[in-house]
Amino acid sequence: MRCAEGAWCVCRPDVAEAALQKALDYACGHGADCAPVTPSGSCYSPNNVAAHCSYAANSYFQRNSQAKGATCDFGGAATLSSTDPSTFLTSTLLVPLIFDVFT
């Protein structure tokens, strides 16, 4: 899922899992396409909250990016990245390359 400008909304790896779950739940409940991160979905693996959160947050952000006031924050659980998160997902977690976003 890409934004034309090359921006992705990703969940922050330095945030507590409970906050990531809250962001995931919000995104899925407010228009994100979360079917791919369900057990039978094509993006279920890696099966962890951080990966599912990033997928859902990005889906929500891309679907609403044209709406006035649409943000990629989710209470501080997510941030914008110019790096496609699919390039650094592993089978267990998000690789620390995402930390480049904060430096």
pTM over 0.95: no
How crowded is residue 4: how many other Cβ atoms within 10 Å of its Cβ? 7
The pLDDT, as a whole number, for residue 84 is 75
**Model confidence at 7, in pLDDT bands (50, 70, 90)?**
confident
The fraction of the chain above a pLDDT of 90, given in percent, is 59
Per-residue CA distances from 1 to 5, 11, 32 (Å) = 12, 15, 11
Q: What are phi and psi of 56, to 5 degrees?
A: -65, -45
Taking alpha carbons only, the member of 20, 22, 72, 15 closest to residue 48 is 20
Which tens digits make up the pLDDT trace of 51-100? 999 999 999 999 987 666 668 999 999 998 888 766 554 333 444 434 44
Residues 82, 22: Cα–Cα separation, whole Å = 24
